Amino acid sequence: MKSVRLTGQLLCDDLGESAIVVQYLPVHVGLTRAENGCLSFNVTPTHDPLVWQVDEHFRDVVSFRAHQQRVSSSEWGRETSGIERRYTITGI
């Protein structure tokens, strides 16, 4: 069974979008880290206040897909849907 890794960035257009990330991120991180199959999950600010580094590691494709499904209908998913994401996914 191959693990799945996602790495990349959230790219906010302005400080308003960055404030949305700050507001909704703690609950998103807590829920994700509690998911079955989540090995690690980090979203960290960079030197640029509009850019957030994203690093995810899931046990397998099934747990990664379950995470993606949950996030798509979550408060985080709704509130940050307009924020650009540039991700690379390996292991799928």
Distance separating alpha carbons of residues 89 and 5, to the nearest angstrom: 6
CATH number where 23 lies? 3.30.70.100
Q: Give the amino acid at 59.
A: R
* Residues 3-16 pLDDT 10s: 999 999 999 999 99
SS3 20: helix
Looking at residues 16-35, what average pLDDT do you find? Answer: 97
Task: Supply the pTM of this predicted model.
Answer: 0.91
User: Could you tell me if 18 and 82 are in contact, meaning their C-beta atoms sit under 8 angstroms apart?
Assistant: no
Show the domain range for 67: 4-90
As for how many domains the chain has, the answer is 1
Q: What are the residues whose beta carbons fall under 8 Å from the beta carbon of 26, sequence distance 6 or more?
A: none
